[in-house]
Amino acid sequence: MQSLILLRGLPGSGKSTLANVLSENGRYPVFSVDDFFTDQHGNYQFEFEKNHVAYQQCEDNTRNALQTGIEKIFIANTFTMLWEMEPYFKMAVEFNCKFFVVTVEKYHNGHNIHNISEEQLQKMAEKYKVKLL
């Protein structure tokens, strides 16, 4: 049975690093909205007006991987609000796969590569919803 695993957390929490470890260094795919804004040399350039295209690309990549039967698929995005995960919930049901949501917390004093200010991170944290039950 396939598994769809969402890794969520604030920028700089370590989502991408954990995804790389869990994907066994690329054996299983990792998709992210950030992929859209990262060139082949690893340079990241965010463009807010293209954010909706990046989200759609991430969803499309996930759907394509599910259709090909890949055993484990990882998605590493902030997912600060529950509605952002909804397309993935629906895909998990559609493809009858196991679904996991893993929250990554920042315990390593790392910095986010997106140059998001502490003030903006605080605002994101205030919107962050966790469903424990």
Q: For residues 122 and 126, what is the distance between their CA atoms, to the nearest angstrom? A: 6
Give this prediction's pTM: 0.86
Task: Say whether domain 3-127 belongs to CATH 1.20.1250.20.
Answer: no
Where do the structural domains in the chain lie, given as residue ranges? 3-127
Say what the pLDDT of residue 111 is.
Answer: 66
Q: For residues 95 and 105, what is the distance between their CA atoms, to the nearest angstrom? A: 29
Q: Helix (H, G, I), strand (E, B), or coil: what is residue 125? A: helix
Q: Give strand pairing partners of 75.
A: 6, 31
Phi, psi of 90 (to 5 degrees): -65, -40
Q: Which amino acid is at 21?
A: V
pLDDT in tens, the chain (133 residues): 999 999 999 888 889 899 999 999 899 999 999 999 999 998 888 888 999 999 999 999 999 999 999 999 999 999 988 889 999 999 999 999 999 999 998 776 666 666 777 788 778 777 777 776 6
Q: Helix (H, G, I), strand (E, B), or coil: what is residue 89? A: helix
Would you give the DSSP letter of residue 82?
G
Q: For residues 115 and 95, what is the distance between their CA atoms, to the nearest angstrom? A: 36
Contact 24, 93 (CB under 8 A): no
